[in-house]
Amino acid sequence: MRRITGWLLCTVAALVLLFSYKTSTMGPGGGISAIAAGADDTGGDPGTTGRPGSAATSDSGSTRSGSAAGAGRYDGSVAQTRWGPVQVRITASGGKITGIDALQVPDGNFRDRQINDYAVPILRQEALAAQSAEIDTVSGATVTSDGYRESLQAAIDAAHLR
Amino acid sequence: MGTVELARRAWVVQVMGLPVSVHLRGPDVRTDAVAARVERLFAELREVDATFSTYRPESVLGRLGGRMPDPATAAPAVREVVELCELARARTGGRFDARRLPLPSGGVGFDPSGLVKGWAIGRAARWLGDLPDHDLCLNAGGDVLLRTGADRPGWRVGIEDPDRPGRLLDVLTRHDGAVATSGTARRGAHIVDPRTGRPATALRSVTVAGPDLLWADVYATAAVARGADALDWLATLDGHEALLVDAAGRVGATPGWPGR
């Protein structure tokens, strides 16, 4: 379980780095943004214990909430990027990512919105690419031949076609 | 953890209008003998399509133009499908009804396609069913059939979020049986409620896990057609569990659903 939790936290960190990279390389000047490393301890649902001792995530730069080990929501720390604060939340079940959302993105002006429109979908794609290695197949409403090429199943198949 | 990584190999073929992928784990996946068996499986699916496709005017069903084949004179496989369609209609309280469906050529008539896929996949899987020490994961356009030898890890099946393709609602670990999903995500509203003749829109998707792909798929389709009270009905099906998403995006599951 510690291994799974660690993997999730690495993913949170990697996603924040990715986001920072995309935003900083798209802007003029190309300055490298600083990543805040401290934990953001404001998450955690009322009514849950927040972090059971066995999960031991509180010292790793993320906040975990939820009832079962390997499940729940993991909030990344707030990263100060060139364009403003960025924070992501990963939803996990059974030790696997089931969703990823940007909790905070810079939205001060038109250019920032453009950046977010571009970067947030990439965030999700990267998370799913990382996750697809952890599932063997995908069940979903009928995939036609046309839709297959962009599907997660196609990515899984491609990894094993030899 | 600590288990030896089994050799794994995949094959993907477009057949029956679907991407069908076969994944095998085991010591012989690189051998010609195993590849030949996989090829037999795909060849059988092509034969099924040539017989049952309602998109092909020259197929047995295409020539009938929406009339139900006469079980007394039909070939054994066609008779079996007609009888299974009738059984499916009885088991779903008429919510799966192959007799009055919109046909590709226009009009309304007999179209068993919603059952043929699961039937054909389950039947064709026998080409790989007697390979000792090999595990099978067969995915036909989002419907999954699984077989795993004793003492080996199950397959991890992601359940796709119908509103955000590529994201997962849940992940199941299963050794055997089937996971089938029906819904409106990929092709718009394409499941018709046989009682009204209109597209069913109350549910976005229904996933059914059970012992057999044909029935998991039929029950998932019937549940979408049923709509609002589908979850209560699904909970009455012995040996099956279900996860669904309604039109408002709410997620529900039967009490025994293993993933949540």
CA A152 vs CA A11, A92, A107: distances in Å: 19, 18, 30
Q: Compute and round to an integer the Cα radius of gyration of chain A.
A: 17
Percent of chain B with pLDDT over 70: 95
Chain A: give the shortest CA distance to residue B207, in Å: 8
Angle in degrees, 0-180, between the axes of helices A110-132 and A152-160, rounded to the nearest 10: 40
Would the CB atoms of B186 and A162 count as touching at under 8 Å?
no
Q: Can you give the pLDDT at residue A74?
A: 65
Best B171, B191, B203, B251 member to test A by mutation, with max A CBs in 10 Å, is B171
Q: Can you give the pLDDT at residue A85?
A: 63
Calculate mean pLDDT across residues B222-251. 94
**Ranges of residues in chain A whose predicted pLDDT is under 50:** 1-62, 66-67, 69, 109-121, 133
Is B193 within 8 Å of B199 (Cβ atoms)? yes
DSSP B107: S
Which of B18, B144, B183 is closest, CB to CB, to A137? B144
Q: Can you give the pLDDT at residue A160?
A: 82
pLDDT in tens, B168-220: 888 899 999 999 999 975 555 578 888 888 888 899 999 999 999 999 999 99
Would the CB atoms of A93 and B12 count as touching at under 8 Å?
no
A40 half-sphere exposure, CB direction, 13 A CA radius: 21
Cβ neighbors of B194 (< 8 A, separation 6 or more) are B94, B95, B96, B97, B100, B101, B225
d(CA B165, CA A140): 8
d(CA A11, CA A134): 13
Residues in a beta bridge with B157 = A137, B172
Q: With contacts defined as CB-CB under 8 Å, which chain B residues touch A161?
A: 9-12
Cβ neighbors of A138 (< 8 A, separation 6 or more) are A151, A152, A153, A156, B139, B142, B157, B158, B159, B160, B168
CATH class of A29-159: alpha beta
**B37 pLDDT above the threshold of 60:** yes
pTM: 0.70
Q: With contacts defined as CB-CB under 8 Å, which chain B residues touch A145?
A: 14, 17-19
Q: Can you give the pLDDT at residue B167?
A: 77
Phi-psi category of residue A19: left, alpha or beta, with phi > 0 → left and psi -120 to 50 → alpha: alpha
Q: Can you give the pLDDT at residue B249?
A: 87
CA B179 vs CA B118, B176, B183, B205, B243: distances in Å: 11, 10, 14, 13, 11
Is B41 within 8 Å of B54 (Cβ atoms)? no
User: Which tokens belong to B81?
Assistant: 């499908």
Which of A98, A134, A161 is closest, CB to CB, to B170? A98
DSSP B7: P
Which residue do the tokens 């670990």 mark? B173
Planar angle of CA B19, B20, B21, nearest 5 degrees: 115
pLDDT in tens, B45-95: 999 999 999 999 999 999 999 999 998 999 999 999 999 999 999 999 999
Q: Can you give the pLDDT at residue A15?
A: 47
Report chain A's mean pLDDT, rounded to a whole number: 52
Nearest chain B residue to A68 by CA: give it. Answer: B260
The ipTM is: 0.88
Is B224 within 8 Å of B182 (Cβ atoms)? yes
The DSSP code sequence of B178-231 is EEEEEESTTTSS--EETTTTEE--SEEEEEEEES-HHHHHHHHHHHHHH-TTHH
pLDDT in tens, A58-96: 233 445 554 454 566 766 656 655 556 666 666 666 655
A39 half-sphere exposure, CB direction, 13 A CA radius: 14
DSSP B177: E
Chain A: give the shortest CA distance to residue B73, in Å: 32
Q: Which residues of A15-49 are buried (b: 16+ CB within 10 A; e: fewer)?
A: bbebbbebbbeebeeeeebebbeebbeebbeeeee
Q: Can you give the pLDDT at residue B6?
A: 80
Provide the number of CB pairs (under 8 Å) joining chain A to chain B. Answer: 139
3-state secondary structure at position A32: coil
The DSSP code sequence of A92-125 is EETTEEEEEEEEE---SSHHHHHHHHHHHHHHHH
Phi-psi category of residue B106: left, alpha or beta, with phi > 0 → left and psi -120 to 50 → alpha: left
Q: With contacts defined as CB-CB under 8 Å, which chain A residues touch B240?
A: none
